[in-house]
Structure 1
Amino acid sequence: MKLKTLLLAACFAAGITAAQAAEGELSIGTEGAYPPWSMADAAGNVTGFDADVGNLLCAKLEMKCQFVVQAFDGLIPALKAKRFDIIISGMSITEDRKKEINFSIGYAELANMFVVPKTSTLVGITDLDGLITALDGKKVGVQAGTTHAHYLEKKVPNADLKTYDTLDQMQIDIASGRIDAAFADRSALDDFLNKPEGKDFQLVDVNVPSSSDPTLGEGIGVGIAQENTELKARIDTALCELVSDGSIGKASQTWFKTDISRPCK
């Protein structure tokens, strides 16, 4: 018993959690309600791009994956409370988030866009400055705690910003006309447009690249507790290999029909 206690203490000193040391298991926090990134069924089974990345990472690290579904804006607090070991949930790397947790290298990059009714006055705008001006006073939906919310708070402070816990809630409101536009990554908006309720909506022809403003982050990364430096090093190495060998690109082709993997830097 004493030997096991000493072994676990040594693992904590090296930045490895008790769950990993005891079972060779990596618990992964993910939202589970943001298709095609992360979808959880009634039984708690998680699928989507995030699940594929998590499974690829666990295989590379020779560990078993366990997914824990958590609302997006509660992921960082839950990681800090040690409810799981890492976050894989389409989470952008930002300076504000880096004050609370550590991140892996960025392994994916996404496009950010607005969806509006086909009858909207925003249709036909093709430049970002013009779009930002036109959003003034509009009711715009975003998911709570996301880089999209922070971006609009900074760039369009006079917009009537509506925040939602889940993408589904935001889709319901735009489909019912309660908001004028919704801002999210392109993949999430495509999911809405491909549904019957999305038939009267379209994307505004303006891509807001993540590189256009620091609030949109430095790519998508794995969230890791700040003290887990050894785990971060192992994850960085594994992600670099998974990007280089095309595994993450192949997974993104499955879910997004395009390669959103980001080369190692």
Structure 2
Amino acid sequence: MKLKSLLLATFFAAGLGAAHAAEGELSIGTEGEYPPWSMADAAGNVTGFDADVGNLLCAKLEMKCHFVVQAFDGLIPALKAKRFDIIISGMSITAERKKQINFSVGYAELANMFVVKKDSDLAGIKDIDTLLKALDGRTVGVQAGTTHAHFMEKRASSAVLKTYDTLDQMQIDLASGRVEAAFADASALQDFLARPDGKDFQFVDVKVQSTFDPSLGEGIGVGISQENTELKARIDKALCELIADGSIGKASQTWFKADISRPCK
């Protein structure tokens, strides 16, 4: 976790205390260092797809939003400690996480991919089973507390897993050769590939989706305290309306150049 995020998280947590979704106000926990999902500046201003989703949600609920920046692997503990009311931070809905918190309906769907050097022997692999076997003994970077880390621990236990607090830290190590591959959602890694330090890297042409392994989740949802059933019902209704009217799809086009919204069932 970068110092910037630590300072922001400390500042906001100290000012908030226990959050209870006060009348007309909603506090939203987000990582702030995961472009294009969530990016925070030094003043605590949050932009990105999840910021847009949060603002759309609050407008629909007729509530005022403010964002609380928190390291990703600390989001669930902070929600349980009532430092904010909900989580909107590209968080996949998984059975393991549902043991601790509740989730809204899914509002987005991810494609998870590996990035490697263009001259790597991994670069030409086309199927997931071959790729996972080829990762035996190799160092792979993932972000701590993510479904990507859980997936690698479960499906590629012979790989050497290196975890990071932030995506930036992982990408720095990838560019410097300290890890041979990085695994994250494709939209987040695309930003790295477009930068000068990512010019010698590429995606492995294997999209790893939740249909392949349930540990990758059931889409991206809003994290909510288990006891806050009334708020969950209101958020579910609002999200389904925002998905149906195309608002979330339009926001995702802005950040991903694609509609990654997940239709309500």
Bucket of the pairwise TM-score, normalised by the shorter protein: over 0.9
Name the counterpart of 2:147: 147
Name the counterpart of 1:20: 22
Q: What amino acid maps onto 2:105 in structure 1?
A: I
Within-5 A mapping of 1:23-62? 24-62=24-62
Q: What per-residue deviation string (whole Å, max 9, x for no partner) do you get for residues 45-81 of structure 1? A: 0000000000000000000000000000000000000
- Secondary structure of 1:210's counterpart equals coil
1:155 CA drift (Å): 0.4
Name the counterpart of 1:103: 103
The alignment of Structure 1 onto Structure 2 pairs a total of residues equal to: 247
- Secondary structure of 2:211's counterpart equals helix
Within-5 A mapping of 1:44-83? 44-83=44-83
Name the counterpart of 1:11: none
After the TM superposition, list the runs of 4 or more consecutive aligned residues in structure 1 that deviate by more than 6 angstroms: none
- Secondary structure of 1:27's counterpart equals strand
Higher mean alpha-carbon deviation, 74-83 vs 126-135, is at: 126-135
Name the counterpart of 2:239: 239
1:211 CA drift (Å): 1.8
- Secondary structure of 1:142's counterpart equals strand
1:226 aligned onto 2:223? no
Name the counterpart of 1:166: 166
1:18 CA drift (Å): 3.9
1:26 CA drift (Å): 0.3
- Secondary structure of 1:26's counterpart equals strand
- Secondary structure of 2:115's counterpart equals strand
1:245 CA drift (Å): 0.3
- Secondary structure of 1:179's counterpart equals coil
Identity over aligned residues, as a percent?
A: 81
Q: What per-residue deviation string (whole Å, max 9, x for no partner) do you get for residues 240-261 of structure 1? A: 0000000000000000000000
Larger Rg: 1
Q: What per-residue deviation string (whole Å, max 9, x for no partner) do you get for residues 186-212 of structure 1? A: 001101001110000000000001221
Please give the alpha-carbon distance, in whole angstroms, between the structure 1 residues aligned to 2:142 and 2:22: 35
Within-5 A mapping of 1:208-219? 208-219=208-219
User: Normalised by the size of structure 2, how large is the TM-score?
Assistant: 0.92
Please give the alpha-carbon distance, in whole angstroms, between the structure 1 residues aligned to 2:251 and 2:20: 30
CA contact (8 A) 2:20 2:82 kept: no
Name the counterpart of 1:250: 250
Name the counterpart of 2:196: 196
Name the counterpart of 2:7: none
Name the counterpart of 2:11: none
Please give the alpha-carbon distance, in whole angstroms, between the structure 1 residues aligned to 2:185 and 2:20: 35
Higher mean alpha-carbon deviation, 88-97 vs 210-219, is at: 210-219
Q: What amino acid maps onto 1:239 in structure 2?
A: L
Name the counterpart of 1:127: 127
CA contact (8 A) 2:253 2:259 kept: yes
Q: What amino acid maps onto 1:84 in structure 2?
A: F
1:19 CA drift (Å): 4.5
Name the counterpart of 1:187: 187
1:85 aligned onto 2:85? yes
Higher mean alpha-carbon deviation, 204-213 vs 244-253, is at: 204-213
Q: What per-residue deviation string (whole Å, max 9, x for no partner) do you get for residues 3-42 of structure 1? A: xxxxxxxxxxxxxx64423xx1100000000000000001
Q: What amino acid maps onto 2:148 in structure 1?
A: H
Stretches of structure 2 that go unaligned for 5 or more consecutive residues are 1-18
Q: What per-residue deviation string (whole Å, max 9, x for no partner) do you get for residues 190-238 of structure 1? A: 0100111000000000000122111100000000000000000000000
User: Normalised by the size of structure 1, how large is the TM-score?
Assistant: 0.92
CA contact (8 A) 2:20 2:84 kept: no
- Secondary structure of 2:129's counterpart equals helix
Q: What amino acid maps onto 1:146 in structure 2?
A: T
RMSD of Structure 2 on Structure 1 (CA): 0.7
